[in-house]
């Protein structure tokens, strides 16, 4: 359902206040061919009402001919910033970048963040942004979960469906996504509300079992029959199941990259305003599926790169899979039990 410009301006003001925007700071709104016009115009208005200096940088899209879908998260690799020194300089000179384009993790983004520039990604449609305007409570809850992962050396995930998946921890940092950027050099995504880390390289092992109704992204589908992944030494070695598994296998094979099968980020959803059921209500091109990634109590795991956390693995293929009804244990202690978050 459409939302008013007024409501979206107020939402942006809240997000910008949480992101510590001060009068006189420089904001660059990064846009491209798929940027939502209302999101852009209301971001610019909100930033101006708060006394910021506002720029817009519009860059042409890349990788369209290589990706198998229109989803911005479906193909990682070069970005419109690759080799674009003028654009990189503009973003480095900005205090805050509102990424309405989907820049994604790249060496250029890391370089910009290292200068202290904060980057907030916001590409879901306006009504989803409005439903999940972040607040301090989201931050506190995600930070508390992050602290629990930081103190742990193993994550073990089980389910009645047959999941039995082991991930040694400690090599990579924990990443908190709560929807605003309140520290220099911070990247975040509005909407979000989940915590993640990465298993130590070449160590994750066991069996990942998806049940009917679990979600594949960027496929943006609810699977119709169970699917099982065998994981050995950090990589998926077999994907078994029915037609959903066959479709996933062919999609992943198209990248011709063994790194596509590596276990990437692992964590769980903490956002009560995100819903498992929402994906079924949307056209596939209208959303990138943040409800699915963030809904409370999911176990979210992914396949592909780990350069987002400072690892060396890059691959164009990235699959995110939120799984319901799992129990997640850190060093033997349940933090999610059968899909219900157990807060401290």
Contact footprint for Fe ion (CB under 5 A): 302, 320
> Residue 244 or residue 320: which is nearer to Fe ion going by CB?
320
> Residue 271 or residue 302: which is nearer to Fe ion going by CB?
302
> Residue 217 or residue 239: which is nearer to Fe ion going by CB?
217
Question: Which residue shows structure tokens 């994750």?
Answer: 204
> Minimum distance between the CB of residue 318 and Fe ion, rounded to whole angstroms?
6
> Residue 45 or residue 173: which is nearer to Fe ion going by CB?
173
> Minimum distance between the CB of residue 304 and Fe ion, rounded to whole angstroms?
7
> Minimum distance between the CB of residue 58 and Fe ion, rounded to whole angstroms?
26
| Maximum alpha-carbon separation in the chain | 57
> Minimum distance between the CB of residue 265 and Fe ion, rounded to whole angstroms?
6
d(CA 249, CA 245): 6
> Residue 302 or residue 306: which is nearer to Fe ion going by CB?
302
Structure tokens at 95: 């205090």
Give the C-alpha distances (Å, rounded to integers) separating 32 from 53, 273, 317.
Answer: 20, 28, 22
What 3 state SS string does 189-206 have?
A: ECCCCEEEECCCCCCCEE
> Residue 35 or residue 302: which is nearer to Fe ion going by CB?
302
**Which 8-state DSSP code applies to residue 70?**
S
Residues 6+ apart with CB under 8 A from 186: 113, 118, 119
Helix 5-18 to helix 37-49 angle (10° resolution) is 60
Q: Tell me if the bond preceding 191 is cis, omega within 30° of 0.
A: yes
> Minimum distance between the CB of residue 334 and Fe ion, rounded to whole angstroms?
24
> Minimum distance between the CB of residue 305 and Fe ion, rounded to whole angstroms?
9
> Residue 28 or residue 264: which is nearer to Fe ion going by CB?
264
d(CA 342, CA 323): 17
**Which of these, 265, 164, 261, 236, lies nearest to 206 by C-alpha position?**
164
């Amino acid at each position: 359902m459409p939302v008013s410009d007024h409501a979206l301006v107020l939402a942006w003001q809240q997000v910008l206040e949480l992101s510590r925007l001060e009068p006189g700071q420089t904001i660059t709104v990064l846009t491209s061919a798929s940027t939502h016009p209302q999101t852009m115009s209301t971001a610019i208005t909100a930033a101006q009402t708060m006394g910021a200096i506002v720029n817009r940088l519009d860059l042409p899209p890349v990788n369209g001919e290589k990706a198998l879908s229109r989803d911005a998260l479906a193909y990682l690799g070069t970005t419109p910033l690759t080799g674009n020194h003028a654009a990189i300089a503009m973003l480095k000179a900005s205090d805050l970048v509102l990424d309405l384009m989907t820049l994604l993790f790249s060496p250029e983004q890391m370089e910009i963040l290292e200068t202290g520039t904060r980057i907030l990604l916001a590409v879901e449609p306006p009504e989803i942004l409005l439903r999940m305007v972040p607040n301090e409570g989201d931050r506190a809850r995600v930070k508390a979960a992050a602290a629990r992962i930081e103190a742990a050396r193993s994550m073990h995930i089980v389910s009645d469906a047959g999941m039995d998946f082991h991930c040694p921890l400690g090599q990579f940092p924990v990443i908190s996504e709560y929807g605003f950027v309140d520290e220099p050099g911070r990247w975040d995504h509005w909407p979000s509300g989940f915590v993640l880390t990465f298993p130590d390289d070449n160590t994750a092992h066991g069996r990942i079992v998806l049940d009917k109704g679990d979600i594949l992204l960027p496929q943006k589908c609810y699977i119709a029959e169970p699917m099982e992944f065998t994981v050995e030494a950090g990589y998926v070695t077999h994907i078994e199941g029915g037609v959903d598994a066959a479709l996933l296998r062919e999609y992943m094979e198209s990248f011709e990259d063994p790194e596509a099968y590596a276990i990437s980020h692992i964590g769980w959803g903490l956002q009560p305003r995100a819903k498992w059921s929402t994906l079924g209500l949307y056209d596939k091109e209208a959303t990138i599926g943040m409800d699915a990634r963030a809904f409370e109590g999911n176990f979210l795991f992914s396949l592909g790169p780990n350069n987002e956390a400072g690892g060396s693995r890059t691959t164009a293929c990235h699959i995110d899979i939120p799984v319901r009804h799992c129990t997640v244990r850190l060093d033997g202690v349940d933090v999610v039990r059968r899909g219900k978050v157990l807060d401290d």
